[in-house]
Amino acid sequence: MEKLQAALDKARESRTGTAPRAKTPKVRAGKPGQSERDALWAALKPLDLDAPNLEMHRLVTREAGLAATPFDILRTKVFLQMRQNGWKRLAITSPMPNSGKSTTACNLALGLGRQKDLRSIILDLDLRSPSVHELFGTKPERSIGDVLSGEVDFADQALRIGDNVAVSMARDPDKDPTRTLLSEGTAEVIESIEATYKPDIMIFDLPSVLVNDDTRAFLKNVDCALIVVRANATRYNQFDTCEREIAEHTNVLGVVLNAVVDSARSKSE
Ligand SMILES: Nc1ncnc2c1ncn2[C@@H]1O[C@H](COP(=O)(O)OP(=O)(O)O)[C@@H](O)[C@H]1O
Ligand SMILES: [Mg+2]
């Protein structure tokens, strides 16, 4: 544990102290007159989403509507609070699995995508149990782990949803991802992606806090975290422990109480 803390301190120090090891992605396309950033975004391979698959996975924010409204409110609150603080990197985590982290992260990303003046990047870092590829209905050819290790360029791995959302997904579960999440190389790759693609917001779909050290290892790389708890499943002491742990490493932006059953409505049905 002491070793982990020392590594975390070192990594945090170097995040604030040194310049990232910039790796310039190849620009494969670009119309004249476009800025370099526009050309880089346009060059990402497009991902066409399948409406029934989105619906099956409760992704409801592609278009405005009743179902999208709670996520739209969350999106706006999160974005304004982050902008006020000058924060760009948002972690989504929870005390235990199956709380709705990935559902929330993907809905936020798709909702942000409707804001045409904003660019967002979502990264699936729940490396032991990745699911963003299922929610978006596509398994990438290479995994986000290959991007973080520097083996593959983000430009060649990430996919673009519409014009302004990029997603980097895991392919298969990784049995021992803590090293990747803790590594200084990973921090540098993320710095480099941010510096190159200049997103307004980066969303990190992280693992749950109470099951292993993965999230603790990574939180040094984010500005703030949203905690997703599941009604009638997450216990108060789990939430309390999780919140304290997160607050040791980053700013707690807020808590999403997911899957609340509207008792008045369910009684009348
Ligand atoms: N509000 C909700 N109501 C009902 N089911 C939900 C809700 N949010 C998520 N789920 C479902 O719960 C399961 C776990 O959600 P997921 O987002 O994958 O959780 P996590 O990423 O925290 O493990 C999925 O089958 C998802 O469709
Ligand atoms: Mg998940």
From ligand 1's centre to the CA of 120, what distance in Å?
22
The full set of domain ranges for the chain reads: 2-22+49-268
Whether pLDDT at 23 is above 60: no
Closest residue to atom 17 of ligand 1, CA basis: 100
* CA-based max dimension of the chain: 60
DSSP string, 101-134: HHHHHHHHHHHHHTSTT--EEEEE--TTS--HHH
Q: Are the C-beta atoms of residues 256 and 226 closer than 8 Å to each other?
A: yes
List the beta strands (DSSP E) in the chain. Answer: 45-46, 89-93, 120-124, 159-161, 165-168, 201-205, 224-230, 251-258
- Tell me, what's the pLDDT at 174? 95
Q: Tell me the CA–centroid distance for residue 94 and ligand 2, in Å.
A: 10
CA 96 to ligand 1: nearest atom: 22
Q: For residue 72, is pLDDT > 70?
A: yes
Mean pLDDT of 31-51: 88
Length of the chain in terms of residues written = 269
With a cut of 80, say whether residue 109 has pLDDT above it. yes
259 lines ligand 1 (CB under 6 A): yes
pLDDT at 33: 45
Q: Give residue 260's pLDDT band: very low, low, confident or very high (50, 70, 90).
A: confident
Which residue in the block uniquely carries the two structure tokens 């790796």? Answer: 23
Euclidean distance between CA atoms 26 and 237, whole angstroms = 48
- pLDDT for residue 189 is more than 70: yes
Report pLDDT for 69. Answer: 97
Cα–Cα distance for residue pair 244/147, rounded to 1 Å? 31
58 ligand 1 Cβ < 6 A: yes
pLDDT at 204 over 80: yes
CATH of domain 2-22+49-268: 3.40.50.300
Distance CA 145, CA 174 (A): 9
Please measure the distance between the N-terminal and C-terminal CA atoms of the chain and give it in whole angstroms. Answer: 51
Mutate to test the pocket of ligand 1, among 103, 126, 203, 226 (most ligand atoms within 8 A of CB): 103
pLDDT of the residue at 92: 98
Residue 226: closest CA among 259, 206, 256, 248: 256
| Segment 124-179, tens digit of pLDDT | 999 999 999 999 999 999 999 999 999 999 999 999 999 999 999 999 999 999 99
Which atom in ligand 1 lies closest to the alpha carbon of residue 106? 17
Compute the distance from residue 98 Cα to the ligand 1 centre, in Å.
Answer: 6
Q: How confident is the model at residue 253 (pLDDT cuts 50, 70, 90)?
A: very high
Q: Distance from the CA of 205 to the center of ligand 2, in angstroms?
A: 7
